Structure 1
Amino acid sequence: METLVVYPYQDITTRNLSREIWMDIKKFEGYYQVSNLGRVRSLDRTVPHSRCGTQFVKGRILKQSVKKHYNASMDDHVNILHVTLANECESHYLIVRRLVFFTFKGLDLQDHDDIIINPIDNDGLNCRLNNLEMLTRSEKRYRTLEQNRIDPARINKMPEIVRPNFAIWKPVNRCDTNGKVLQTFPSIASAKKDPGSYNGTYISRAIRSGEPYRGFVWKLASRSVLDELSAQYPKRKKIRQKNIRLASNIL
């Protein structure tokens, strides 16, 4: 059964894909190259051999591994592609999107630890060069908050300038079967954190259908419940938003 190829990295048989450009990887020249489509390949080379002295090794497209990071706030996973490169008997486990971006921008992989390479479409498996952008840690934090991909309980531990994107929050009421409001949550994500261990998917389904879930009726609450919570955070400075846009335009 053939494997459906959705991303370029999954194709390890085709030597060159359409509009694919290869570049040598810094400090791995003559051994490995990376392409603008996110693929990595080894080159034909002669390596030391314990019995024969030297051995010819034919180059190939390298397989990449997917590392999944669980996001409790969204109840899903963030995918990160990794590849292993070997040089002088040492193995290097590298993040592919950093490898692609840094190579084509002429940057050193060992520098710029404070820079984060982010997929524009939020798809960690899409490591095409035109889908990658450079963000600082602060800018990445804003993106995470804007997409509600962070546990609300962690927000209080962040600097005061960090403000959640309340515009996309959906307050919900947990009611008894008679419709009496027992508890109000600022969002479905926060309801999932309740000691009752509610499932966000089932809460959304109960809101749409009107059917009880875990013995309770769930309804959307008034957005006024967010006013008090929103007042705890200062408004984000417009100049900061402008800086984020400028950083994206540079790329």
Structure 2
Amino acid sequence: MTMEVWKDIAEHAGYQVSNLGRVRSVDRIIEVRCPWGHIVKRRLKGKILKATVHPETGYVHVTMGAGVTKMVHRLVAKVFVPNPLNLPEVNHEDLDRTNNVDTNLTWVTSSGNKDHSYASGTRKQHGLTQPVRLVRPGYTLQFDSMLDAAKHIDRNPGSVASAFHRGHLCAGWQVEAG
């Protein structure tokens, strides 16, 4: 079993993140003004922050302080995963967006992140990048994408996509899944 290690989050004083993907506030002393005007020091005990899974993206996030919401996988990666090439995105190696353990995270390029999800089948190709066929009586042309098909028949890619989804012709061609 992996031992949990806590480290400070540089950009967020008073908070720590663990290598197992948890975030906590630390014990701290704050000053508050009493109703009669005196300033008193008050001790606040740190606590583990409630992690929430975003319903649309599936990523785990926490709220830190005054409405500052951060994705946990990025906090863990910034603190525990070396990024010598200064890559912009964090990839979940096992494709589970709720598994924010440091050993499951790697820094990648944007295209590397997308390639990983396409290869695993968790992300479908964007409509304009999916393979299509243009069909006419006696002719069938195969293309790697709707974009390529649109260039070939000198039409807007949106027109090709519309013909594909609605079943009508585009420049006299029927557009089918490739």
Kindly indicate whether residue 79 of structure 2 is the aligned counterpart of residue 103 of structure 1. yes
Kindly indicate whether residue 8 of structure 2 is the aligned counterpart of residue 24 of structure 1. yes
**In the alignment, what sits opposite 1:136?**
109
**Could you tell me which amino acid in structure 2 is paired with residue 145 of structure 1?**
Y
Gaps of 5+ in 1: 1-16, 70-77, 157-162, 165-192, 197-224, 230-251
**In the alignment, what sits opposite 2:124?**
150
| Separation in structure 2 between the aligned mates of residue 79 and residue 64 of structure 1, nearest angstrom | 12
| Separation in structure 1 between the aligned mates of residue 126 and residue 44 of structure 2, nearest angstrom | 52
TM-superposition CA deviations, 1:43-88 (whole Å, max 9, x none) = 110012132532210011110111032xxxxxxxx410111122xx
| Separation in structure 1 between the aligned mates of residue 88 and residue 11 of structure 2, nearest angstrom | 20
- Tell me which structure has the larger Cα radius of gyration: 2
- Summarize the alignment of residues 117-196 of structure 1 with structure 2, pairs less than 5 Å apart: 117-148=90-121, 149-155=123-129
| Separation in structure 1 between the aligned mates of residue 73 and residue 22 of structure 2, nearest angstrom | 10
TM-superposition CA deviations, 1:118-169 (whole Å, max 9, x none) = 111111111000111111011122223323412451316xxxxxx79xxxxx
**Could you tell me which amino acid in structure 1 is paired with residue 111 of structure 2?**
S
Give the fraction of aligned pairs with identical amino acids, expressed as a percent. 31
Under a length normalisation based on structure 2, what TM-score does the superposition of the two structures give? 0.63
- Return the match for 1:93 from 64, 69, 72: 69
| Separation in structure 2 between the aligned mates of residue 47 and residue 106 of structure 1, nearest angstrom | 34
Kindly indicate whether residue 27 of structure 2 is the aligned counterpart of residue 54 of structure 1. no
Over 3 Å counting, the alpha-carbon distance change for 1:134 and 1:106 in structure 2 is closer
Over 3 Å counting, the alpha-carbon distance change for 1:59 and 1:147 in structure 2 is same
**Could you tell me which amino acid in structure 2 is paired with residue 131 of structure 1?**
N
| Separation in structure 1 between the aligned mates of residue 81 and residue 107 of structure 2, nearest angstrom | 11
Under a length normalisation based on structure 1, what TM-score does the superposition of the two structures give? 0.46
| Separation in structure 2 between the aligned mates of residue 105 and residue 152 of structure 1, nearest angstrom | 30
SS in 1 for 2:75: helix
Measured on the aligned residues, the alpha-carbon RMSD in Å equals 3.0
- Return the match for 2:54 from 67, 73, 76: 67
Contact map agreement 2:81 2:102 (CA 8 A) in 1: no
- Return the match for 1:83 from 46, 58, 62: 62
**Could you tell me which amino acid in structure 2 is paired with residue 127 of structure 1?**
N
SS in 1 for 2:106: strand
**Could you tell me which amino acid in structure 2 is paired with residue 21 of structure 1?**
V
| Separation in structure 2 between the aligned mates of residue 42 and residue 62 of structure 1, nearest angstrom | 7
Over 3 Å counting, the alpha-carbon distance change for 1:105 and 1:120 in structure 2 is closer
SS in 2 for 1:146: helix
